[in-house]
Structure 1
Amino acid sequence: MKNYIQAEEWNIIEEGFDPHLNKISESLFSLGNGRMGQRANFEESYSGDTLQGNYVAGVYYPDKTRVGWWKNGYPEYFAKVLNAANWMGLGIRLDGEELDLNLCKVTGFKRILNMKEGYLERSFNAELASGKQISVTAKRFFSIANDEIAALHYQLTALNFSGKLELTSFIDGDVKNQDSNYDEKFWDEVGRTQNDSGSYLTMRTKKTDFDVVTGVKTLVFTKAGQSQLSADTAVKDKYLAELTAVDLTAGEAVDIYKIATNLSSQNYDSAELTTSATAVLEAAVLKGFTALLEEQAAAWATKWEEGDIIIEGDVAAQQAIRFNIFQLNQTYTGKDARLNIGPKGFTGEKYGGSTYWDTEAYCIPFYLSTAPQEVSKNLLVYRYKHLEKAIENAQKLGFDKGAALYPMVTMNGEECHNEWEITFEEIHRNGAIAFAIFNYIRYTGDQSYLKEYGLEVLIGIARFWKQRVNWSEARQQYVMLGVTGPNEYENNVNNNWYTSTLAAWCLKYAVEATEIVKAEDPARYQEIAGKVNLEEAQEFADWKAVSENIYLPYDEEKGIFLQQDGFLDKEQTLVSELPASQRPINQKWSWDRILRSCFIKQADVLQGMYFFEDDYDMESLRRNFDFYESRTVHESSLSPCVHSILAAKLNDGEKAYEFYLRTSRLDLDDYNNDTEDGLHITSMAGTWMSIVEGFAGMRVRNNQLSFSPFLPEQWNSFSFNIGFRGVQLKIKVTRDDITIVNPAKTMMDINIFNQLHSVPAGETVIAWKGMAV
């Protein structure tokens, strides 16, 4: 665990430069706008340890799967979001001496990620080997007001000398991914242009043929006026540069501006890319850096108005939740249904940047409440558009008749995960997608989604579950063999309780959804039934038989659901008995030892109890929570939030707060020693859930919002906004009461501590322990 980030409500602050922490900071200070993003690499040269990263959403490469052996049904490739052209590069030489923070004395170093206005600022003093001293302040941002634009301002001042600054402003497309096979590079240069409007480098991905043009306009100003740049005549492949030399006078600043655009053939005709980039860039340059930054601040003000959470009395908790919300909004904006949320967003390359089940299980609730309805709907439409690929994925594994298995990892709907125990066995992802459809409709009331998109997906998923189980003569029940549950420290187990519970629910919900569409729009039902060849009578009978007769392991003596068959055969050691020197076990133990232990990577049984909490009484929840929590090492970023929510429901404030702080500061404090690879974007939505569903106890029941809040001892109050069915409510929880402001023009009925309150249009209701004041 690291502890070098200063606690501050609106800013992430690092003071002092430690090269050993640099890659962690590159992740923490990353920027993005939903369309493109970048790690917090330095503008100037840096020869120290770094992970260069610039990314364009939706652009990927199918890197060949590498395994020592092959199995039928294995994916041919592992899709990777690509490290793209570096647009911000500045080569700086002072009287012939290069500025490189790895080779000079650095003092006064400070990085500030301003989350309120959406920019990164860095400042430092450097003393070169010659004794020359300079001061630098750099500011940059990726515009969410115009997601095709990014910009930076780099100001350099000579402190103790006058001399010559030689500047090279470049675009470098000669890049590779950190984990590329055999260090292969995935881009070819297909075009370059330099003129008065800027420099434009067009790169094309191998195999997938995505074209991306990176355009940059560089402006340099001294006290004497604007300096002219000239094209670098030393032509290098995949590289464009402009050069200038200016006189430095001690105490006087040189201001360097770079305004950039990235456009891809996803959104523009390849033949028109440079022309389009020129128009975008010229318009941005005409506005200027200051005006663009003002637009950025205004756009972020709107984001915060919709989705901020305010915590009084706990600065570390306040900083953490805003950091998580900030990164989620940088990663996904919902403007494009072809895009989804990669586990690392624009902050790193681990996991390939592809889509996982995390989106449906963790991110959907956040966007439902903090963004327009279309945003979460687009996340579901993304899966609908991949339905045919999901059916193909199932066919590769031997399933038929329209059974659909959604991929564990994907860019275009095809499975591209290269670990057999995940690819073939972690099939609970199917259930998360079905549950997200249910959750979306429950929250929005948009029942029409079923007939537009959802029902076809639910039928495909139900067909998969029907074929995936088999009848056990010994048990006289259906069983689910050879699966991996959310706890990936168990592979190839039989009857994982969570997977089987989710499968049974999916089968029931598919029948219910079909009946709803059939009743509300018979013509559409007939259209869907014909399209998917639904044999209603037989298939419904089969689905009901499985859902009502599936085996769910349970231990009568302990009164707990068993994670899977044989779980109690393991030596039952508690996490509290693990020496600190042995953790994290995924970095200290052999895989064989992990698989034979009872230790749990993340919520598994408890994940199911979180999804279907209304099916279990408090005592059952408490028994299972106490049993499994004490055996969970939380070495998945997705784990602490579920435990926090359940602990809050059980009125265990100490544990709820402990898990909230762990999930919210997972990256800021580098709990799992892996932040340098990139941030855990999808789990950040779980941080929001920990507060809103945990501490505030928000649920949707009977088409109404329900709250059962409590306040952690460390906080004086917390407040947040919730968008629900067209109304933006303001909620505040204090030690004594809960305040609900309804600014809408319609009345809203809300359940507080199991008592119904009507909140009139434009008015405020204050409740305390369920009693109106």
Structure 2
Amino acid sequence: RTSYSKDRRIVPCHATESSRFTLTCATDNALESSCPHSCKVVHTSDFGQVAFTIEARPGCPIQLTKYMVYHTSQTASAEELCGRTEWTLDRVVTNGFQELLASQQQYMEDFWRRSDVRVKNIRQDRTKRSTVEIQQAIRFNLFHILQASARAEETGVPAKGLTGQAYEGHYFWDTEIYLLPFLIYTSPRIARNLLAFRHKMLPQARARAKELGHRGAMFPWRTINGEEASAYYAAGTAQYHINADIMYALRKYVQATGDEAFLRDYGAEMLVETARLWLDLGFYSEAKAGKFCINGVTGPDEYNAVVNNNAYTNLMARENLCYAAQVVESLQATAADAYNALVGETGLDPSEVKAWMRAAENMYVPHDEKLGIIPQDDGFLDKERWDFRNTPSDHYPLLLFYHPLDIYRKQVIKQADIVLAMFLLGDAFPPETKKRNFDFYDPLTTGDSSLSSCVEAIIAGQIGDVDKAIRYGMAALLMDLADVGGNVKDGCHIASMGGTWMMLTYGLGGMRDYDGSLSFWPRRAPEDDATLLFTLTYRGQRVQVEIGPENVEYALREGHCLIIHHETEEIQLTQAHPVAVRLVSKQELT
């Protein structure tokens, strides 16, 4: 701890003992009055006070303006951070409150112009909520994402954002899978910062992989400074899929922004090291006809831990391996300097790339011919079904009332797992496959995680189950405002809030970006007069999508020319020429 004062200014700085995070909160005070007054400053390492004594007079105004500045860092010393804080404080005091207010107002206007999602004419008989209530919930969620991520420069986004102490401010896979899609398409600079933060922890990830006996890099399941902070390996470290989740987000970012420089300078190195880990973790199994298998892992569903061939993990690992090979081969062919730098940094051998592709091409994905579904893992279908009928309604979440071993032995799911894969990799699953899997897994899913409802709403909508899409969608949208899980006292569910944006754009809006291009497959349900409007930033241009009762209109709000697709029809947009397309009345999305 360190603290000092200057005139009416107090500058305290604290540093955490282990992670050496530094935090400074400096204050300055400006008192304006013609009344006689004096000032006394008292401070210690933990306490600061500026006390004014004023001889107040009738009709003599007194105005006190207090300026506060926060700075935090993982790398700066206390002295350096105090210097930064004082520089910022000098600037804001000089500019004054009105300029600060105007700049904040402009910042928020810019945010809503890029990010707002607007709805009209919602059928309250279906949603049990008015249009005003739903619009409030949407903006409540988007605002909290902004608040949690706006200053993410050398940090991640805590699971509870700025709203609570739960999870001790740690970062999880939530960031890449649930938050980054929103940020990529509304605030790409912040998305870039968050991916750069993952690259920054690559040395610790390499060390962690070595500790676990692997080549490559193993990103921490739960962290605040790059080190693994999960205390329970079965529901923490065993979730190897976080490597693929980060690389999935990297690919989405590069495709949506065209930021090839980031891919060369940061992304390629992460791809090499994560691909190495998958190749080292898996093996070619004779029992599975020589297929590449990945054993002893936990997927997104933490109620089935340390299993063999979790389908989500295998599918996402395959994507990771393919993308790594694709990027390395592209650099070798088109950017020799960048490729040579990558080889120098990682010691990459060309034979590794061939091995990645072989593993990807031979990746084992479970399949049950009789049920026509993808088993969540090798042993899932062999388990006894959880006795939902005799489980008291107040005994959820299950992990708070039942021993993990009891849960692990049963067919019961905490959150969307293979259903999540069908959303993220949706082009790999025909509609009938999505329906069979959703119909099988939905009754087994407790929704004990706030991350489940938004994904289930999207897939339910895609298979035409409107009632479930609305039910899950409203649960996700009101997760915090209505305290759906009964735990908002611990803080808001920031990742679920990101999921609601995906639910509105990818779900209701029919947005697809699997191949890096933008397409939309919106459908209106019969007798539905609702309107949905949202905006996306794509390759530096801003496109607005407005889906009404009869038509969908695409309009370019910023930029010169943008090519998108309405279903399979190519549409060329300019600011002068928006395009309207008549909608087909169907419930099913493709």
Q: TM-score, normalised by structure 2?
A: 0.89
2:184 to 359, 364, 368: 368
CA contact (8 A) 1:312 1:717 kept: yes
Task: Determine the C-alpha separation between the residues in 2 that align with 1:366 and 1:433.
Answer: 15
* Structure 1 CA distance for aligned equivalents of residues 118 and 14 of structure 2: 44
SS in 2 for 1:404: coil
Residue in 1 that maps onto 2:318: 504
Note if contact 2:160-2:491 (Cα within 8 Å) is conserved in structure 1: yes
Task: Report the equivalent of 1:397.
Answer: 212
Give 1:301's match in structure 2, choosing from 104, 109, 131: 109
- 1:524 is aligned to 338
Q: Choose the corresponding residue for 1:753, options 554, 558, 567.
A: 567
- C-alpha displacement of 1:593: 3.2
**Percent sequence identity over aligned pairs:** 30
Match of 1:560, SS state, is coil
Aligned twin of 1:609: 422
Deviation of the 1:743 alpha carbon = 3.1
1:642–1:481 CA distance, 2 compared to 1 (3 A) = same
**What corresponds to 1:388 in structure 2?**
203
CA distance in 1: counterparts of 2:104 and 2:178, whole angstroms: 27
Match of 2:7 in 1: 195
- Rg (Cα) greater in structure: 1
Q: Does 1:260 align with 2:29?
A: no
- How has the CA–CA distance of structure 1 residues 295 and 563 changed in structure 2, closer, same or farther, with 3 Å as cutoff? same
Q: How far apart are residue 221 of structure 1 and its match?
A: 7.9
Alpha-carbon displacement from aligned partner over 1:707-750 (angstroms, at most 9, x marks no partner) = 11235777621111111112111211111111111234523222
Unaligned runs of 5+ in 2: 122-130, 586-590
Q: Give the match for residue 150 of structure 2.
A: 333
Displacement of 1:571: 2.9
- Secondary structure at 2:326 match in 1: helix
- Deviations 1:216-262 (CA, angstroms, capped at 9, x unpaired): 1345789x958644234xx6551112335679999x99976432112
Match of 2:17 among 206, 225, 231: 206
* Residue 377 of structure 1 pairs with residue 188 of structure 2: no
What's the Cα RMSD here? 3.0
How many angstroms apart in 1 are the aligned matches of 2:217 and 2:20? 28
Does the 8 Å CA contact 2:523/2:584 hold for their aligned counterparts? no
Pick from 694, 710, 717 the counterpart of residue 531 of structure 2: 717
Confirm whether residue 421 of structure 1 aligns to residue 231 of structure 2. Answer: no
SS in 2 for 1:656: helix
Distance in 2 separating the partners of 1:413 and 1:268: 16
Shift in Å, 1:418: 1.6
Residues 495 and 229 (structure 1 numbering): CA distance in 2 closer, same or farther, change over 3 Å? same
Quote the residue 2:132 is aligned against: 315
1:699 equivalenced with 2:512 (yes/no): yes
For residue 371 of structure 2, what is the aligned residue in structure 1?
558
Higher-strand-fraction structure:
1
CA deviations 1:622-651 (Å, max 9, x no partner) are 100111122111121221121122122223
> Structure 1-normalised TM-score?
0.69
Alignment-mate amino acid for residue 395 of structure 1 = K
Q: Using the alignment, how far apart are the partners of 1:675 and 1:300 within structure 2? A: 25
Residue deviations 1:360-406 (CA, integer Å, cap 9, x gap):
112221111112x3332222222222222211110001113xx1111
Post-superposition offset of 1:503:
1.8
CA offset at residue 359 of structure 1? 1.4
Partners of 2:267 and 2:44 in 1: CA distance:
51
Q: What's 1:111 paired with?
A: none
Instruction: Work out the CA distance in 1 between the residues paired with 2:464 and 2:411.
Output: 26
Moved more, 204-213 or 313-322: 204-213
Question: 2:387, 2:573 → 1: CA distance?
Answer: 47
1:321 Cα shift? 1.1
After superposition, the Cα gap between the structure-2 partners of 1:280 and 1:701, relative to the gap in structure 1 and judged at 3 Å, is closer
Mark the CA change 1:231 to 1:380 in structure 2 (over 3 Å): closer, same or farther: closer
Task: Compute the displacement of 1:276 (Å).
Answer: 4.6
Identify, as 1 or 2, the structure richer in helix: 2
Tell whether 2:47 aligns with 1:239: yes
> What amino acid is aligned across from residue 344 of structure 1 in structure 2?
K
Change (3 A) 1:324 1:231: same
1:646 lines up with 2:462 in the alignment: no
What secondary structure is seen at the aligned counterpart in 1 of 2:299? Answer: coil
Asked if 1:625 is matched to 2:433, the reply is no
- Note if 1:543 corresponds to 2:356: yes
Tell me the distance in 2 between the aligned counterparts of 1:769 and 1:716: 13
Are the equivalent residues in 2 in contact too, given 1:220–1:228 (CA < 8 A)?
Answer: no
Q: CA deviation at 1:597?
A: 3.0
The alpha-carbon deviation at position 479 of structure 1 amounts to 2.5
Say which SS state the counterpart of residue 578 (structure 2) adopts.
strand
SS at match of 2:348: coil
The whole-number CA distance in structure 2 between the counterparts of 1:529 and 1:600 is 42
The 3 A distance-change label for structure 1 pair 427 and 736 is same
- Please tell me whether the aligned partners of residues 711 and 717 of structure 1 are also in contact (alpha carbons under 8 angstroms): no
Match of residue 347 from structure 2: 533
**Quick one: structure 1 residues 265 and 470, their matched pair in 2 at CA, closer, same or farther if it must change by over 3 Å?**
closer
Could you say what secondary structure the match of 2:287 adopts? coil
1:763 aligns with 2:574: no
Instruction: Find 2:40's aligned residue among 197, 206, 230.
Output: 230
Offset at residue 613 of structure 1 (A): 1.1
Contact 2:3 2:45 in 1 (8 A): no
Deviation at 1:202, TM superposition (A): 2.8
Match of 1:119 in 2: none
Cα distance in 1, alignment partners of residues 412 and 265 from structure 2: 43
Give distance in 2, aligned partners of 1:649 and 1:199: 57
Distance (whole Å) between structure 2 residues aligned to residue 219 and residue 530 of structure 1: 56
Give the equivalent residue in structure 2 for 1:216. 27
Q: Shift of residue 493 of structure 1?
A: 1.4
Gap change, CA 1:584 and 1:255, over 3 Å in 2:
farther
Q: Which amino acid aligns with 1:213?
A: T
Q: Contact conserved, 1:393 with 1:404, CA < 8 A, in 2?
A: yes
Unaligned runs of 5+ in 1: 1-188
Counterparts of 2:17 and 2:63 in 1: how far apart (Å)?
Answer: 38
Task: Give the superposition deviation at 1:423.
Answer: 3.8
- SS of 1:471 mapped into structure 2: strand
CA spacing shift, 1:533–1:653, aligned 2, 3 Å: same
Q: Secondary structure at the match of 1:626?
A: helix
Aligned to 2:288, the other structure's residue is in SS state coil
The letter for the 1-side match of 2:133 is A
